[in-house]
Amino acid sequence: MKLFLAPALLAFSSAAIAQDAPDPPTPASIIAAAPAADWRPIDPADLLVMTLAPDRDGNPRQVVIQLMPAPFSQGWVGNIRALAKAHWWDGTSVYRVVDNWVAQWGDGEDDEAKAKPLPEGLREVPESEYLTRLPVLTDAAVRGPISRTLDSDPYRVQPDFFQGWPIARLLPGQPIVAVDAQGRPIPDPPGELAGPVHCYGSVGVARDTETTGTGSELYAVIGHAPRQLDRNIAVVGRVIEGIEHLSTLPRGQGEAGVYDDAALRVPIVSVRLGNEVSYLPQPHFEYLASDSGSFARYVEVRANRNDAFYKVPAGGIDVCNVQVPIRRVMSE
Amino acid sequence: MKLFLAPALLAFSSAAIAQDAPDPPTPASIIAAAPAADWRPIDPADLLVMTLAPDRDGNPRQVVIQLMPAPFSQGWVGNIRALAKAHWWDGTSVYRVVDNWVAQWGDGEDDEAKAKPLPEGLREVPESEYLTRLPVLTDAAVRGPISRTLDSDPYRVQPDFFQGWPIARLLPGQPIVAVDAQGRPIPDPPGELAGPVHCYGSVGVARDTETTGTGSELYAVIGHAPRQLDRNIAVVGRVIEGIEHLSTLPRGQGEAGVYDDAALRVPIVSVRLGNEVSYLPQPHFEYLASDSGSFARYVEVRANRNDAFYKVPAGGIDVCNVQVPIRRVMSE
């Protein structure tokens, strides 16, 4: 009696992929068959490597975060680069974990008088930067099949992918409810506005009710996609390796899931940009290009599983369940 | 600097709810204002209480699962009741944990010759029971607002709620792909067919590719809703308390996330129906009735947050992000 559901495909090593594409195709077979040209490198300078204190058994814990590419969320991403260069997170902690919600880290000090001073030069980013104008959407030849599969979204947007990231496009005529800085409704937002979305593993900027946050306090989503946060909080990256070091942490018992006992906080040893880690080789990852034919086929098959295990293909998929393939590239 | 996102509302104690409904309303204020008549009791006989071995610090670990009500998945639910009455899970284990996917328990033995014998009389449930006919849908007066909010689903179904459970209705004319027991396509399924959906915390029946599973091997979803499993695997319940005892377990490093070292398996001390636990009082829970006005308002507000923290209401919500309110009722 075999009892195993297919495991989720969030990140994987190429060694684990079967080389024979079965018929019908599976997400794994499409990934295995993807030509090298369909994979794009992730610049180590666009990674954050967060080293937590070893666990109680002495096992190392490292979390790798990919930063959001331009033109999205770049005000906050710039702050985050500055914070990493200043080694600001060294000695801070993971201080809040809520089941089916987030794991949050940074200084975690509510009292401004006691808070760790921030480096100079951080931007105060306006809410208007939750959205950006996209100069070019994905290639039309690829848009076709992806668009068919992703044409329905409960959050009243057009889902899309941009350089390997799930995003949401606001379309004119869609029943979007948007407000400007004064709280006045914007009945019909212009057509090229788009923003990132909150999925499992997304990294966002914690904030108070008055500001959009600097980026010093970050969280990773460890549950069902909290899409109600889209356009309300800046998404600045995603965990691409080691999310289990956040998702398995004990849930906080204090207010809003904060660790009420400071001893429960998980010390952050260091956070470095991937090109500034103190060891070699630097971390190298690749993503399956979202404007590639392989990606279009991958989305189609994720939405229409009909391999041996699946009896009824869904016929569609939500943008956060697509799970863009990302793999670590082993050094020679 | 306040840095806290609102915590997820999956289950909560009534003591934690603010009694003053602020303006504009929040999910918490609507729950706090819900009259007693809008809460429905969950019969202890419809609960499974799973007691895991204490953690390494000696803390007790108990997981409470609500079984799926009729008419959904009752073939498997009947088996599960029989397995609990036979104390079949006592001495088995949680043997598989995959990040953003599932935690799975039971015998976990792939070799049929070594597998723990099942009690007699379990049903072999056909795939046709993944769907059922609903005699009555939710009240029309309530359907209106909920339907507006939930009218768009990426999985090509009409989301709905039934006795406090998220479900999917198949509608004639929708581009549903369904097959009968012989694998022949059913191009236009009749209008009253409906089935449960896979959300965070859902409990499903692990199976091989040939059968639908007996219910002896179960899993709980600990990540983004794997809706591609809907109508492919039986959903038989949901974790309503203690999911952190599953979601924080170490991820398995063996094939498909199985613990390759048997010592990592988490022993299951016992699984009992809630009315057969060996202590008093029995566990009592209530859910916010999905045919109540309070629930309709709750869905509406979850989909259109415009309290102090939220700047832009989403205008919609996905069925798994609604999170039906469930609360433990404290005994006198």
Interface test with B, best of A4, A12, A232, A310 (most B CBs within 10 A): A4
Tell whether A313 lies on the interface with B, counting CB pairs under 8 A.
Answer: yes
B9-20 pLDDT tens trace: 333 333 334 445
Arithmetic mean of pLDDT, A69-76: 96
pLDDT at B54 over 50: yes
Look up residue B243 and give its amino acid: I
3-state SS, A111-122, equals CCCCCCCCCCCC
pLDDT at A321 over 60: yes
For residue B200, list chain A residues with Cβ-Cβ distance below 8 A: 100, 223-224
pLDDT at A10 over 80: no
State how far the alpha carbon of B194 is from the alpha carbons of A305, B183, B200, B219, in Å.
20, 19, 19, 22
User: Do A1 and B110 count as a contact with CB atoms less than 8 A apart?
Assistant: yes
Q: Identify the pLDDT of residue A186.
A: 56
pLDDT at B76 over 50: yes
Interface test with B, best of A26, A100, A231, A249 (most B CBs within 10 A): A100
Q: Identify the pLDDT of residue A190.
A: 47
Arithmetic mean of pLDDT, A27-31: 96
Arithmetic mean of pLDDT, B72-99: 98
State how far the alpha carbon of A321 is from the alpha carbons of B87, B196, B277, in Å.
37, 18, 38
| Cβ neighbours for B59, distance < 8 A, ≥ 6 positions apart | none
For residue A102, list chain B residues with Cβ-Cβ distance below 8 A: 5
For residue B96, list chain A residues with Cβ-Cβ distance below 8 A: 4
| Cβ neighbours for B262, distance < 8 A, ≥ 6 positions apart | none
Cα separation, A125 vs A204, whole angstroms: 14
pLDDT at B4 over 80: no
**Lowest-confidence pick of A119-128, A168-177, B76-85:** A168-177
Q: Identify the pLDDT of residue A151.
A: 73
pLDDT at A218 over 90: yes
Q: Identify the pLDDT of residue B77.
A: 98
Which pair of structure tokens corresponds to residue A329? 């590239």
Burial of B306 by CB count in 10 Å (0-12 exposed, 13-18 middle, 19+ buried)?
middle
Q: What is the ipTM of this complex?
A: 0.89
Q: Identify the pLDDT of residue B146.
A: 66
Q: Identify the pLDDT of residue B190.
A: 47
Arithmetic mean of pLDDT, B82-110: 97
Contact call for residues A235 and B312 (beta carbons, < 8 A): no
Cα separation, B22 vs B45, whole angstroms: 37
Give which of A41, A3, A98, A25 is closest to A299, Cα–Cα. A25
Tell whether A12 lies on the interface with B, counting CB pairs under 8 A.
Answer: no
Q: What is the pTM of this model?
A: 0.89
Q: What is the dihedral of CA A29, A32, A34, A36, to 10 degrees?
A: 180
User: Do A312 and B179 count as a contact with CB atoms less than 8 A apart?
Assistant: yes
Q: Identify the pLDDT of residue B330.
A: 82
Query: Phi and psi of A185, rounded to 5°?
Result: -65, 140
Q: Identify the pLDDT of residue B16.
A: 38
Contact call for residues B152 and B316 (beta carbons, < 8 A): yes
Tell whether B223 lies on the interface with A, counting CB pairs under 8 A.
Answer: yes
Which pair of structure tokens corresponds to residue A216? 């010093």
Which pair of structure tokens corresponds to residue A145? 């099949």
Q: Identify the pLDDT of residue B152.
A: 81
Cα separation, A106 vs A114, whole angstroms: 14
Tell me which residue in B153, B232, B248 faces A251 most closely, judged by beta carbons: B248
Which pair of structure tokens corresponds to residue B257? 């996330």
Cα separation, A216 vs A25, whole angstroms: 43
pLDDT bracket for residue A86 (50, 70, 90): very high
Arithmetic mean of pLDDT, A230-256: 97
Tell me which residue in A179, A224, A317 faces B321 most closely, judged by beta carbons: A224
pLDDT bracket for residue B110 (50, 70, 90): confident
Arithmetic mean of pLDDT, A212-238: 97
Q: Identify the pLDDT of residue A7.
A: 39
Q: Identify the pLDDT of residue A9.
A: 34
DSSP 8-class letter at A216: S
User: Do B99 and A243 count as a contact with CB atoms less than 8 A apart?
Assistant: yes
Average pLDDT over all residues of chain A = 86
Q: Identify the pLDDT of residue A152.
A: 81
Q: Which residues lie across from B96 on neighbouring strands?
A: B104, B258
**Lowest-confidence pick of A201-210, B123-132, B171-180, B195-204:** B171-180
pLDDT bracket for residue B2 (50, 70, 90): very low
The more confident residue out of A315 and B267 is: B267
Residue A222's closest chain B neighbor by CA? B223
Arithmetic mean of pLDDT, A30-58: 97
pLDDT at B308 over 60: yes
Arithmetic mean of pLDDT, B22-28: 85
Contact call for residues A11 and A286 (beta carbons, < 8 A): no
Look up residue A74 and give its amino acid: Q
Cα separation, A318 vs A326, whole angstroms: 18
Cα separation, A261 vs A204, whole angstroms: 24
Percent of chain A topping pLDDT 70: 82
Tell me which residue in B1, B256, B311 faces A7 most closely, judged by beta carbons: B256
Q: Identify the pLDDT of residue A289.
A: 95
Prior bond of A24 cis (ω within 30°): yes
Tell whether A118 lies on the interface with B, counting CB pairs under 8 A.
Answer: no
Q: Identify the pLDDT of residue B179.
A: 52
Residue B226's closest chain A neighbor by CA? A321
Q: Identify the pLDDT of residue B296.
A: 92
User: Do B100 and A319 count as a contact with CB atoms less than 8 A apart?
Assistant: no
For residue B206, list chain A residues with Cβ-Cβ distance below 8 A: 3-5
Q: Identify the pLDDT of residue B145.
A: 56
Q: DSSP per residue over B221-254, as a string?
A: E-SS--GGGTTTS-EEEEEEE-THHHHTSPPP-S
Tell whether A272 lies on the interface with B, counting CB pairs under 8 A.
Answer: no
Q: Identify the pLDDT of residue A145.
A: 56
Q: Where are the alpha helices (DSSP H) in chain B?
A: 27-33, 74-85, 140-149, 244-247, 293-303
Q: Identify the pLDDT of residue B143.
A: 53
**Lowest-confidence pick of A49-63, A193-207, B34-48, B190-204:** B190-204
For residue A315, list chain B residues with Cβ-Cβ distance below 8 A: 155-156, 175-177
State the count of interchain CB pairs (< 8 A) between A and B: 242
Which pair of structure tokens corresponds to residue A214? 């600097």
The more confident residue out of A44 and A23 is: A44
Which residues, numbered 23 to 52 in chain B, qualify as contacts with chain A under a Cβ-Cβ cut-off of 8 Å?
none
Query: Phi and psi of B97, rounded to 5°?
Result: -140, 125
Arithmetic mean of pLDDT, B136-165: 72
Cα separation, A6 vs B100, whole angstroms: 12
pLDDT bracket for residue A281 (50, 70, 90): confident
Tell me which residue in A156, A315, A318 faces B176 most closely, judged by beta carbons: A315
For residue A178, list chain B residues with Cβ-Cβ distance below 8 A: 312
Q: Identify the pLDDT of residue A4.
A: 46
Contact call for residues A216 and A208 (beta carbons, < 8 A): no
Sole residue written with tokens 């299951």? B268
